[in-house]
Amino acid sequence: MKLKHTLVIPFFVLALLQSCQQNKPTEGNTVAEVKLQSPNFDADSAYAYTKAQVDFGPRIPSTPAHAKTADYLVAKLKSFGGEVSVQQAPMKTYDGKTHQLKNIIAAFYPEKKQRVLITAHWDARPFSDEDPNMGMRNKPFDAANDGASGVAVILEMARQIQQKAPDIGVDFILWDLEDYGSANDETPRETTWCLGSQYWAKNPTIKGSKPLYAINLDMVGGANAQFTQDAVSRQYAPSVVSKVWSIASEIGYGNYFINVTSGELIDDHYWINQAGVPAIDVIHYSDAAGFYSNWHTQLDNLNNIDRNTLKAVGQTMLEAIYREKPTQ
């Protein structure tokens, strides 16, 4: 993902502190006391799925680790009962190289007309160009949070959805070639990043009814993560932002999903919106602090994945899905 431009918020720190205080679970609204409509999201299971991806090595396009991970993800989603397909196409990246794009798509309960789409990217950036050590910037990194965490949440959601069917259908897409964009500020950010979702937006795979909305997950496993409401999400899908953040607060995760706005981001949700599906981004980012502290560095590894954050995101996603009721 890439920052398009930031919106500087006056008194941001004060607002952030106030938001965190307001969103802490109260005595009458703790995770344990709220009656969930969704099944229990197992954070240990999600952590194991994160580790499984990291164990293949950096999932850089056109590498053996990338190919093995693709096979693993397809097999996992099929094992959970998904109707799985892979959208493939040769794609040229900003550096002139050509890679085989693999967007992994899974439909659960495809017979259900009303549906929700949940997405995340599964590829790894080829270099840690934000590492504080200049000597490490050309080296690949594990991409445990920036990539693997969102995919892990989706895999655990799929496992739970197989066991207990929601009232609506659910589609998952794992985007490829999201994180191979140019860091050159003179290059249009809309063109070199998010190649998988760009391609899908121009060649949509939706069969039947268009999803009611979509949620993209990006960097959802870091400790003490805080997810702000970015400008693209608020522009295209304000009601979905309100729905998700309200559910998170109600079930005790308002200290993760904070009521603070942020600037415009070019992430996969941007291209989902271009395809006509209202989409939001759940991403560890704020205008004040920027992206996740280990973003595109060697420290984006399994040691910095937090089960509590995986739980907060996964349970909120499941609860949003299981509260959806089909309309006549």
pLDDT surpasses 90 at 72: yes
**What per-residue confidence (pLDDT) applies to 28?**
38
The larger pLDDT score, comparing residue 174 to residue 29, is at 174
Confidence of residue 4 (pLDDT cuts 50, 70, 90): low
pLDDT of 159 reads 98
pLDDT in tens, 188-232: 777 999 999 999 999 999 877 899 999 999 999 999 999 999 999
Residue 130: which CATH number?
A: 3.40.630.10
Whole-number pLDDT of residue 187: 72
Query: Does residue 44 form part of some domain?
Result: yes
Please count the structural domains in the chain.
1
Alpha carbons 44 and 151: distance in angstroms, whole number: 14
Flag whether 215 is in a domain.
yes
Q: Tokens representing 225?
A: 């993560």
Beta carbons within 8 Å of 307's beta carbon, 6+ residues apart: 43, 44, 46, 47
What lies within 8 Å, CB to CB, of 255 at 6+ separation is 20, 23, 24, 25, 226
Query: Does residue 69 carry a pLDDT above 90?
Result: yes
- Within a domain: 42: yes
Alpha-helical runs (H) found in 56-178: 64-79, 150-163
The pLDDT value given to residue 208: 73
The range of the structural domain enclosing residue 280 comes to 2-323
pLDDT tens by residue, 78-98: 999 999 999 999 999 999 999
Q: Does residue 262 sit within a domain?
A: yes
* Contact in structure between 284 and 292 (CB atoms under 8 Å): yes
**Range 168-179 average pLDDT:** 98
What is the C-alpha to C-alpha distance for residues 132 and 297, in angstroms, rounded to an integer?
8
Structure token pair of residue 171: 């589609």
Mean pLDDT of the chain: 91
The strand pair at 2-5 and 264-266 is best described as antiparallel
* Inter-residue long-range contacts of 70-77, CB under 8 Å, 24+ positions, other chains counted: 70/102, 70/104, 70/122, 73/104, 73/122, 73/151, 73/155, 73/174, 74/104, 76/49, 76/155, 76/158, 77/104, 77/106, 77/155, 77/158, 77/172
Q: Does position 16 have pLDDT exceeding 80, yes or no?
A: no
Does pTM top 0.75 for this prediction? yes
Predicted confidence (pLDDT) at residue 299 exceeds the cutoff of 90: yes
Please check the confidence at residue 2 and state whether its pLDDT lies above 70. no
The answer on pLDDT for 306 being more than 50 is yes
Question: pLDDT confidence of 25, banded at 50, 70, 90?
Answer: very low
Report if residue 125 sits inside a domain. Answer: yes
Q: How far is CA 25 from CA 32, 34, 64, 234, in A?
A: 10, 10, 45, 25
Tell me: pLDDT of 15 over 90: no
Residue 138 lies in a domain: yes
- What percent of the chain is modeled with pLDDT above 70? 90
Task: Examine residue 113 and state whether it is found in any structural domain, yes or no.
Answer: yes
- Residue 328 in any domain: the answer is no
Q: What is the pLDDT of residues 114-172, one digit of tens each?
A: 999 999 999 999 999 999 999 999 999 999 999 999 999 999 999 999 999 999 999 99
Decide which of 137 and 11 is more confident.
137
pLDDT, tens digit, 9 for 90 and up, residues 242-273: 999 999 999 999 999 999 999 999 999 999 99
Examine the pLDDT at 13 and tell me if it is beyond 80.
no
